[in-house]
């Protein structure tokens, strides 16, 4: 990926104006600073959303705003290297960014969070954007909504998030850390986690377990992640978001 060609912060004004003239779409990625097990980076949620949107912009057009490494909720603030911000602060930054994109000719704005609890802010973002003069088409999306199959509706640091990072930012992933916990105990000592309800979700809270801090549905193991699965996942998301963008552009052009 040649992200410098679509990342707003790396583009000169004439490059931005040219990109907007060709395809007046802007993308706002955000996520969180949050523990994602020992095998994944703390900024996974934001990095995932940012690099995924850069990939989409490179394929179809548009510009990508700088990623925000802040989020709300999730219930993980007791884990290392995890902190959240106030709802109003995050909404304000996103709305300010969206209005800035609109002032510079953007007609469709895609707001995408890689941290799923941030979805609780979408209604407030949409409302405040309109109250402050927002007229561009605002698309608030979560990548897992591209899938109808329940098993593919996101996870936390497990099979699909790990696969996404193996595809988008492989240098940040250490798969070997899934085999040995922080205190040296191996995965074989514990075995695979068992959900409280068959077919339900589990969340590993044992600090000695190699999968500490990982959550997913039964059978959705992080060790089954692969870059190939990640790219297939990302392609499905791209096609889904692209359809939404093109529909929104048609609506905007008709007005």
In total, the chain counts a number of residues equal to 255
What pLDDT was estimated at residue 3? Answer: 58
Q: What is the mean pLDDT of residues 81-93?
A: 97
What letter would DSSP give residue 224? Answer: G
Show the domains of the chain with their CATH numbers. 3-250 (3.40.50.10310)
Sign of the torsion formed by the C-alpha atoms of 229, 206, 202 and 71: negative
What are the pLDDT digits (tens) for 32-80? Answer: 999 999 999 999 999 999 999 999 999 999 999 999 999 999 888 999 9
Residue 210 φ then ψ, to 5°: -60, -20
With b meaning 16 or more CB within 10 Å and e meaning fewer, what string describes 90-112?
Answer: bbeebbebbbebbeeebbbbbbb
Give CA 235 to chain center in angstroms.
14
Q: Which residue has the higher pLDDT, 21 or 152?
A: 21
Q: Helices H, strands E: what count in the chain?
A: 7, 6
Distance in Å from the first CA to the final CA of the chain: 35
Gyration radius of the chain over CA positions = 19
What are the pLDDT digits (tens) for 140-161? Answer: 999 999 987 655 557 899 999 9
């Amino acid at each position: 990926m040649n992200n410098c060609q679509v990342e707003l912060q790396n583009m000169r004004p004439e490059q931005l104006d040219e990109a907007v003239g060709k395809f007046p779409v802007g993308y706002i990625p955000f996520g969180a600073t949050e523990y994602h097990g020992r095998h994944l980076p703390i900024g996974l949620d934001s990095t995932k959303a940012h690099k995924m949107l850069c990939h989409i912009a490179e394929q179809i057009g548009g510009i990508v705003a700088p990623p925000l490494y802040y989020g709300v909720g999730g219930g993980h603030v007791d884990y290392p290297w995890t902190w959240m911000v106030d709802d109003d602060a995050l909404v304000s930054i996103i709305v300010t960014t969206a209005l800035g994109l609109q002032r510079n000719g953007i007609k469709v704005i895609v707001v995408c969070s890689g941290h799923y609890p941030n979805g609780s802010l979408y209604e407030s973002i949409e409302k405040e954007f309109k109250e402050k003069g927002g007229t561009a088409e605002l698309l608030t999306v979560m990548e897992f909504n591209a899938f109808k199959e329940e098993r593919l509706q996101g996870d936390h640091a497990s099979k699909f998030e790990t696969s996404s990072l193996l595809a988008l930012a492989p240098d940040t992933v250490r798969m070997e850390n899934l085999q040995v916990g922080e205190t040296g105990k191996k995965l074989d000592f514990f075995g695979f986690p068992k959900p409280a309800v068959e077919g339900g979700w589990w969340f590993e809270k044992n600090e000695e377990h190699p999968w500490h801090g990982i959550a997913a549905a039964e059978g959705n193991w992080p060790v089954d992640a692969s870059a190939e699965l990640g790219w297939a996942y990302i392609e499905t998301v791209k096609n889904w978001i692209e359809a939404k963008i093109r529909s929104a552009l048609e609506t905007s052009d008709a007005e």
